[in-house]
Structure 1
């Protein structure tokens, strides 16, 4: 069976809705969960942004599926020592079914403390690497003292740690970030079916390590209506260049969405109820070389989506287990 998980959107749904979606995903046959970690939604229209660690606690008691953050930024808004504690607790609650997905973040979420958002990608990646070092040291359960270029930890010890430390998967949306992910991570996270980035990850040290990717879809009985929903909620996915990393407020993303028309969204996302359109989009990620693909449904019709995927999509992706 191809490994297909469900992508929980903390920006679009309340914590209670996310828990219910996780239950439906488990019942429908999805093999695992991704969950986003945001302080702000991308736009006011999305309308949510709950504290992911509380939601993960609820998920740990509601379902048996593995959970990965996609992704947490452990560099500005939350100190890596705090992320280490949160992730260790999540791993204990899930009996080892938790993976910490990390990335270098966006100004949208990380600017809030007023300490400044690094404009340089190189600096953001440097911070991420040091943060991961701190997190892994704390997961040993030993007392940690650290004075680095970006972080200080003084006499910190985690008393609640899992028997085995969680895996850390690192996201990378450019060649430098993907190369760093190969060297630094236990696995790789992406949202693009990009074989070149996957190659950079593997050449950077990620050969043989697991890889995950996620995409959004908008199932619905009417393709045009689904495309309108996708445009209303997730036009931000098509913003060019580094806008997604540098814009600080949902209002700015709403202004930038004027750059994206509805037809472009309909071309980017599978919309409607044609099984072949959904299957082609998912298969593109597997063909690029990813091991696991996570699908997130936009909009309110979650039950219809899960019924459709359990009936029309997941059985088509079944394959003999190697």
Structure 2
């Protein structure tokens, strides 16, 4: 049994230890996914800081109003936590993803994002998705079909980008669309360069549209062939808008289960993240208690091809490398167990240094 130690202290502003390196000294961007459904906000911030000290390059934080499962036990406000993460780390960070269509108007999300980008120049990015009923139904609005949720998401992107552009230019802007209204206004706290707006997608049509209008793409782990298709369709959309997808962020949130033994890794997967074994759409489920009932149907074999469950660092390195080879240039890694300190130490020492572009 290894003895685990936690490094403490705050990184210096110009600390370079948080850059994951590949052969030849060029950066490979493997960040840490801070899961606010699982950990109290102060712990999540501390883990983000520790991740940087072990070689992780940035932080993605989840935006939830409720946890997936009651036993996960947390759901902090993402914008509050991101401000603290920005103060305690030196890499990039952003919400991956937020939904500026139901709980929060796009103008308010734009203000929150612009504030972080002003406080931490060049580090903050904005990830936007179409949402899940688990988090968005709490405000009591009608929960629409997927096509309408996607339409609302892209209109929200339009509102945010219009507001960013007008505010940088020092002028006001308004918006009256199918789903949102914004009266004449501007952001009075705005950085010289707007945060990049990345769109979350799980399907080829949305990926192509994201390539046309967004600054980058975000998706979550899944079968390799599905992910390869998303990357390809995103590139198609970028080409249609006269851009090169290879210069645009292609972001992956990757869930894995690592522990000292395979048995412990599987227990963690089944206990903490049965979501990873659910082979059906989760967008319309409204309650953590409903997810708790569905989680009882998940079996070890359900994770096959969807989430790596292993105690072998070499297997995890190969898994990460394959996703880099697919064309993702940023991966934010979530180890589903509570063993975050052990995970960060082992991956920082045995997994990240062997990765290459």
**TM over 0.5, yes or no?**
yes
The alignment status of 1:22 with 2:67, answered yes or no, reads no
The normalised TM-score by structure 1 is 0.94
> CA offset at residue 123 of structure 1?
1.1
Q: 1-side partners of 2:277 and 2:105: how far apart?
A: 30
The alignment status of 1:250 with 2:288, answered yes or no, reads yes
8 Å CA contact retained: 1:96, 1:162: no
Q: 1-side partners of 2:337 and 2:304: how far apart?
A: 14
The change in CA–CA distance for 1:237 and 1:270 in structure 2 (over 3 A counts) is closer
Indicate the residue corresponding to 1:95 in structure 2: 121
Indicate the residue corresponding to 2:238 in structure 1: 205
1:186 to 209, 212, 215: 215
Q: 2-side partners of 1:222 and 1:263: how far apart?
A: 17
Indicate the residue corresponding to 2:34 in structure 1: 8
Query: Aligned pairs, how many?
Result: 317
Indicate the residue corresponding to 2:263 in structure 1: 224
> CA offset at residue 94 of structure 1?
1.6
Indicate the residue corresponding to 2:343 in structure 1: 305
The normalised TM-score by structure 2 is 0.85
Q: Deviations over 1:240-262 (max 9, x none)?
A: 232x1111111111122233113
Q: 1-side partners of 2:31 and 2:345: how far apart?
A: 15
8 Å CA contact retained: 1:227, 1:266: no
Alignment RMSD (CA, Å): 1.6
- Match of 2:188, SS? coil
8 Å CA contact retained: 1:222, 1:273: yes
Indicate the residue corresponding to 1:269 in structure 2: 307
- Match of 2:251, SS? strand
Indicate the residue corresponding to 1:172 in structure 2: 201
Q: 2-side partners of 1:165 and 1:267: how far apart?
A: 37
> CA offset at residue 175 of structure 1?
1.3
Q: How does 1:15-54 map to 2 (within 5 A)?
A: 15-54=41-80
2:162 to 137, 151, 168: 137
> CA offset at residue 144 of structure 1?
2.3
Structure 1 unaligned segments of length 5 or more: list them.
none
> CA offset at residue 135 of structure 1?
0.7
8 Å CA contact retained: 2:277, 2:299: no
- Match of 2:308, SS? coil
> CA offset at residue 17 of structure 1?
0.8
